[in-house]
Amino acid sequence: MRAIILSLWFLLTITVAFEAHAVYHYAVTNFMNPSALYLCTWTLGVTMVTGVILVTTTAFIFAYKIYKLGGGMLPLVFIIPPQLVGVVGAFAIGVIILKMPAFLEFEAHFAWVWYAYFGTQAFSDCALSTVLCIMLAKRRTGFKRSDSLIQTIIQYSINTCLLTSAVSIASNATMPFNFIHIAIAQVLPPLMFNSLLALLNSRDVMRNIHCGQVISIHLSRLRGSSRLPGAAGAGMASSVDDTDIEDQRVVDISADAPKDAAITIKQSGQENKEV
């Protein structure tokens, strides 16, 4: 994973360098020369290719995470094919720009390729976020700590989808007869890469935030016998049955307590009992 992240970072650096060259060409070299805006520089065509490689690789990493989480192959049908269509579209845009650098000719004959590329990107981002949210929602355990962590990941997935999809849709919406769509399109690759970095870097942060919370377990939900560790230096078996419990009992277990810590059982109307 570190090698992949390093490769993506290097690819993003190259993409930003090509974008800087395009800006320098129009804003510095051809300053006060409006006719230069008629033609597209070759670096803009290259940025479409390097950008789609970065975006597609990031999407594949998210899809692999979903597969490892237990989603199977069916959810990937809504993620991988649109990304492959986007790769073909981006490569086609790059080749067309190199062969036909006039902006007006591109918009007149090949604007549909641009719309198809960013439309499939928006669809793939929404599908990825939807699949991930459904899978996480099905894995709610009923415990406050786990459900809170799942809810945080779901909110992160939705926010990421909204950002990337908004960029793709805005690029299509602003395309006709201006250069705004080109500027918006350049935001998508670094945005996808930063979303991947945020996901990987937030694992330890979320784990530390949710560590140490109290877990409440209703004994009325337990059946059979369970072994409690650390009781008088040896394991102690305790049998719990639904019919023997008249009042609701809750076991408060500190998540960061030592293994030999005692477990306190609190019962309504009775004194605390320590096991």
* pLDDT computed for residue 210 by the predictor: 57
Domain span at 268? 215-274
pLDDT tops 70 at residue 28: yes
Task: Let me know whether 111 and 95 are in one domain.
Answer: yes
Task: Let me know whether 193 and 240 are in one domain.
Answer: no
Task: Let me know whether 174 and 253 are in one domain.
Answer: no
* pLDDT computed for residue 10 by the predictor: 92
Task: Let me know whether 130 and 21 are in one domain.
Answer: yes
Task: Let me know whether 47 and 165 are in one domain.
Answer: yes
Which residue did the predictor score with more confidence, 175 or 94? Answer: 94
Tokens of 199: 């996901």
Task: Let me know whether 135 and 244 are in one domain.
Answer: no
Residues in the chain: 275
Least confident of 126-135, 139-148, 166-175: 139-148
Least confident of 33-37, 155-159, 225-229: 225-229
Task: Let me know whether 200 and 229 are in one domain.
Answer: no
**Contact present, 149 and 155 (Cβ < 8 Å):** no
Task: Let me know whether 189 and 204 are in one domain.
Answer: yes
What is the residue-wise DSSP string for 122-154?
A: HHHHHHHHHHHHHHHHTT--S-HHHHHHHHHHH
* pLDDT computed for residue 169 by the predictor: 86
* pLDDT computed for residue 208 by the predictor: 66
pLDDT tops 80 at residue 234: no
Report residue 17's pLDDT band, with 50, 70 and 90 as the boundaries: very high
Please provide the average confidence, as pLDDT, over all residues in the chain.
Answer: 75
Number of domains in the chain: 2
CA 254 → CA 14, 227, 228, 268, distances in Å?
Answer: 49, 17, 14, 20
Given 159, 192, 210, the domain boundary residue is 210
pLDDT tops 50 at residue 263: no
Given 162, 181, 210, the domain boundary residue is 210
Given 177, 210, 243, the domain boundary residue is 210
